[in-house]
Chain A
């Protein structure tokens, strides 16, 4: 199984500050035949289902504010929020879809 590990477990930032969450995979999730990283990011606000933010490590979903960005390749990835807003308070998860079982990181709780 591919183990996904996030850091930190929780993160407190001030409004307008930059937040960065790291995600490591225990093996590469880069598929050379199509040059893509099989890595997604989700946001889960309290009492809500998860929401897809980013796929393919860096492709922002339609409607997601451009302050959210994803980067990385192979086994190391980051989710950045350039200027944190109050509505960004949530738990953030990375997920690999390179192979079954499709595994998630343990989550990072973002607080203001």
Chain B
């Protein structure tokens, strides 16, 4: 069974930093591209960042570009999101989500999701 478990959220002051982690199990992590998707309280879904299986392709939403860094450790089956210069508008539940991948390619829709970790940016 595919499992994605996020942690690392919490309360942080504006301008502060936080590092989110996502532990993956139940599939061959190193062959899947992965994503972070967030959801502000009571709001819709916003894609944040994607990373390819070998970390050679990385994409960010404009809202986080230059402040957030996605990375992965395939040996540890883990995905990360380093968040710097946090703003109030970054307050959200952050989900780790797996791309749908075949043996030939990955497509950026999300077939498995974690339960999320809440990040609150407030003074």
A interface with B by C-beta (< 8 Å): 38, 40, 42, 44, 48-52, 55, 61, 93, 95, 97, 100-107
| Docked-complex contact B113 and A102, CB < 8 angstroms | no
A97 touches B115 (CB 8 A): no
B95 at the interface (CB under 8 A from A): yes
In the complex, what residues of A have CB within 8 A of residue B111's CB? Answer: 52, 55, 61
In the bound complex, do residue B46 and residue A51 qualify as a contact, i.e. CB atoms below 8 Å apart? no
- Whole-angstrom distance between the Cβ of B99 and the nearest chain A Cβ: 9
A102 neighbours in B (Cβ, 8 Å): 35, 47, 50, 108-109
Pairwise interchain contact B46-A104, C-beta atoms closer than 8 A: yes
B117 to chain A, nearest CB (A): 11
Q: Any chain A CB within 8 A of the CB of B62?
A: yes
Given contacts A50-B45, A102-B108, A106-B44, 10 further A-B contacts (CB under 8 A): A38-B107, A40-B110, A49-B115, A52-B109, A55-B111, A95-B47, A100-B59, A102-B50, A102-B109, A104-B47
How many residues on chain B are close to A (CB under 8 Å)?
21
A101 in contact with B44 (CB, 8 Å): no
Please give, as numbers and ranges, the residues of chain A lying within 8 Å of B59 by CB-CB distance: 100-101
Interface residues of B (CB under 8 A from A): 35, 44-47, 50, 59, 61-62, 95, 100, 107-116
**In whole angstroms, what is the CA distance A50 to B45 when docked?**
9
Q: Output the least CB separation between B77 and chain A (Å).
A: 19
* Contact assessment for A93 and B44 in the assembled complex, using a CB-CB cutoff below 8 Å: yes
| Residues of chain A within 8 A of B115, CB atoms compared | 48-49
Whether B113 pairs with A50 at a CB distance below 8 angstroms is yes
Q: How far is the CA of A49 from the CA of B47 in the complex (A)?
A: 14
Nearest B residue (CB) for A47:
B115
CB distance from B45 to the nearest CB of A (A): 4
